[in-house]
Amino acid sequence: MKKASSFHTRLILSYAALLVLVMVLSISIADAFFIRAFKTFLSGGYGSPFGIESMVIEPKTYLLTATYLKFHDMMRLSVWIGGCAVMLIALGVASWFTRRFSQPISGFAGFADRIGHGDYDAQISDNQGLREFAELSDSLNHMAHELKCRDEVEQELFSNLSHELRTPVTVIKGYMEALDAELISSPQELHSAAEAISQETANLEIMINELRQLAQIDNNAVMPEESNFDVDEVLGYIWRRFAPIAVARGVLLSHQFGANVKVHLDRQLLDRAVANLLSNAITATPSGHSVTLSSAIDGSHGVNIVIEDTGSGIPEEDLAHVFDRFFRSDRSRNRRSGGLGLGLPIARDLVEIEGGHLDIRSTVDVGTRVTISYPRSVIARDESLLAS
């Protein structure tokens, strides 16, 4: 690749060319003006020069004398010397300014090169002297921080995926090899194998769906398609969908729908958010305990949807991280109960896309309460309020 000159060199050369052009034009104009003014002076245009009549009577003859020529040469030499001195001083000042401007730019180029090689810990000083450069430094440092966070999430994603995929793939592969080798033959063993393969296949499907939803959120590809619908009706449909799952796990799933309003939201996004939360609650609740799905109108006339369980709860030190992607409070849990740790982050993002808020409160050995809150503005028709 052809080596290009530096910004500093190009700027200095530009200044030099401009100064030379200005100096030549200035001296040429000054020289022409001087000759014209001197002729006017000798012809008495400014009054009688030094009282010498011969200079006034015959100015053209005087212009040819050696005295005038010597004077003219000295004046031209003085103008040239003065012009060169001014140019050198201007070039020195320009060099100082351009060096001050080019040094931050060189720093930006080095910073960009480090980022390009994956060094996201790189930082650039915001003490650049100029406000614009300081703002650019802040923006670049913020960009590096965001890239570092994305890189960490990506590495964590690959690490979690490789770990989580290993279990279902190993189980499925093991049973398939056993079936192929005819090591499993009794009806009971065949049923157990089919059940295990079905469960692990379902786990793989859940992981794929979680990753697909996560990709849609990160790419801003979730476009709400809002419509008016009865929020209790949608929650009832979700409750009926999860009731058999809760029964199979020995969990009592109850409901208390008291909102009695129509909302203007995306029905699918609400379904996905509540389903994620309800699935997490049922999974985290031991057999013999309960999960409740409820709705109500709060004091500010907003819509609240609550998923509450009587499970083991979340430790206080983990509560601040429950919305971190891939975080699991109990790291000893397997994929059957722990998932990828994306349920809560996905649910929160889906709720916030439509202006809602998700809050979680939990007490160890008491249970967890997750509340989805939507403002009053989402209500399309509140029959209970209209009736009152």
Bridge partners of 367? 363
Bridge partners of 331? none
Domains of the chain, each with CATH number or no CATH: 1-42+60-119 (no CATH), 140-219 (1.10.287.130), 227-382 (3.30.565.10)
Question: pLDDT tens across 216-226, in order?
Answer: 777 777 788 88
Which residue type occupies 314? I
Question: pLDDT tens across 238-252, in order?
Answer: 999 999 989 988 999
Q: Using an 8 Å Cβ cutoff, are 358 and 370 in contact?
A: yes
Q: With a cut of 90, say whether residue 306 has pLDDT above it.
A: yes
Helix 187-218 to helix 131-180 angle, to the nearest 10 degrees?
170
Return the percentage of the chain with pLDDT > 70, whole number.
Answer: 71
Position 213 confidence tier, pLDDT thresholds 50, 70, 90? confident
CA atoms within 13 A on the CB side of 34: 18
- Report the C-alpha gap between 100 and 97 in whole angstroms: 5
Return the percentage of the chain with pLDDT > 90, whole number.
Answer: 16
Q: What is the mean pLDDT of residues 32-42?
A: 65
Cα dihedral 78, 81, 87, 92 sign: negative
Structure tokens at 331: 């790291």
Q: With a cut of 60, say whether residue 276 has pLDDT above it.
A: yes
Q: Using an 8 Å Cβ cutoff, are 76 and 31 in contact?
A: yes
Q: What is the mean pLDDT of residues 341-358?
A: 85
b/e for 7-40, b at 16 or more Cβ within 10 A? ebeebbeebeeebeeebeeebeeeeeebeeebee
According to the model, what pLDDT value does residue 319 have? 81
